[in-house]
Amino acid sequence: MKYFSTNRKSPEVNFKDATLSGQAPDKGLYFPITIPVLPASFLDKLAHLSNEEIAFKVIQPYVGDCIPDKDLMNIVNKTIAFDFPLKQINENIFALELFHGPTLAFKDVGAGFMSCCLGHFAKTIEKEITVLVATSGDTGGAVAAGFAGIEGVRVIILYPSGKVSNVQELQLTTWGGNIQAYEVDGNFDDCQSMVKQAFADYELQNKMFLTSANSINVARWLPQQFYYFFAWKQWADKNRPPIISVPSGNFGNICSGLLAMKSGLPFKHFIAACNTNKVIPEFMQTGNYQPQKAKATLSNAMDVGDPSNFVRILEIFDQQFKGIQKAMSSYSISDDETIHTIKKVKNDYAYLLDPHGAVGYAALEKYLSAHSQEKGIFLETAHPVKFDNTMEKILGYPLPLPAHVKSLYQKVKGSIRIDADYHALKNELNK
C-alpha cells in the first residue's frame, strides 16, 4: 500500500515511512492511494471470527509488507487485548463501549497499535525517535501508556493547561522515564499548531527523528476502524444496518468509520456528534469550512475548532459535498443538553454516560426522532470516572473510583509549563 499527501506536493510513501514521518513534508496528511474493499465472504462470516482475526484482516492491506504478518498479528493481539461490548440502552439505542483499555478511553487502540509499530521500526533506526503529540484530554494518556518504556523512543506530550480533567492530567504527567509532558498556556488548537510547526521546521527535523502520535499519523488513525467491525459483529439484525453516532473532535475516529464503510461495512449512515465547537455542523449546512477558535466545554476531548482529519473525509468522498451529505449528518450539542442527557439516561435506563458519550447519545436521539424506523449505535468513548469532578457536579455525588484510578492520585504530577508559542517548545526540545 502506498500513501499520498492530501496537499499532493510530496512523494508517495509506504506504511513504514508514513508512520515514521507522521505528517507529509508538504504539511498534508497521508492517505491510502486505494481503499481496500473487503470480500463479502469475510463480512458474512464476521460473527464467527475472533476480534484478532477481524482486526488483522482489516489492517493488513494498509500495512502491506512493511511488517511481517506474524509480527503484525502479535501487534494486533497486544492492541485489542480487552473487550468492546455492545450494550442495549433502550429499544432503539445501543452503546459500543470503547473504554475497557488501560487508560479507559478509545484512544488506547490507536496509541497501542502505533506504539507497537514504532517499536518494531525503531530497531532498524540509529537515531532516537521523538514522538510529538498534542492532546485535548485522552490521547496523551493513551500515548503515554502505549509508549512507556519502549526502547529508542521518547515522547513529548503537549496539553492545554486547565482544560483536561484531573484523571486525564495524571494519566499523562506521572510517567517519567521516556515520557515528558508540557502544560501549554492555551487551548488544544494552540497545542496542535505548535506540533504542526515543529514538523515544518527543517532545522529541528535535521537534529532529531521526529514523528507524531496524533490521529494525523496513519498508524494512530487506521486501526480505529476495528471498533466498527466489532460493532457489526455484535449487531443482531444484519438486515437492518444501524445508524452510527460518533462523538467527534479532531474527526479521526469518525473518519476511520467512514473508511470502514467504504471498505464494505454495511452501515446505513453516520452522525458526527459535536459539542458547541460546531465547525462541521455548520459545514454540513453551508458547504463552507470555516475554522473557529475552540471553546471549552464539558466534553473537553472534543474541544477542537479546526479538526485536522476532516481533510481525509473529503478524500474518502472525492471532495464531493453531496457524497458527504448522503453518508453523514452532524449535530451540535450544548453543555446544558449534555447534562440533561446524562441525568435522563441515568434515571430512565440506569446507564451512566460520560460527557462525550452523552453528546453522541443526544445527537443520535435527535436523528432518530426524525427517522423513527431506524435504530442506532453511539460510541461511548471514555469511562465516566475520567471526568470525576464534572460527573460529581452533574450527579450531585462522587463516583466510586476503580483501584487503578485511585492509585493515580497517589502520584506526583510532573510537567513543564510553557507559553502557547512554538519558540518556547523549540527551546525545550533543543535542551
When computed from its CA atoms, the radius of gyration of the chain, rounded to whole angstroms, is 20
Closest CA to 111 of 275, 13, 229, 252: 252
- Asked whether 2 and 33 are in contact (CB, 8 A), the reply is yes
**243 contact partners, CB below 8 Å, separation of at least 6:** 267, 268, 269, 270, 271, 364, 367, 368, 371, 374, 375, 376, 377
On whether the CB atoms of residues 3 and 32 are closer than 8 A, the answer is: yes
- SS3 state at 10: coil
Catalytic residue among 16, 107, 163, 278: 107
| Contact partners, residue 316, CB within 8 Å, separation at least 6 | 35, 255, 258, 259, 262
Q: Which residues pair with 94 in a beta bridge?
A: 88, 377
Annotated catalytic residue 375: no
Amino acid (1-letter code) at residue 281: P
The catalytic residue positions are 107
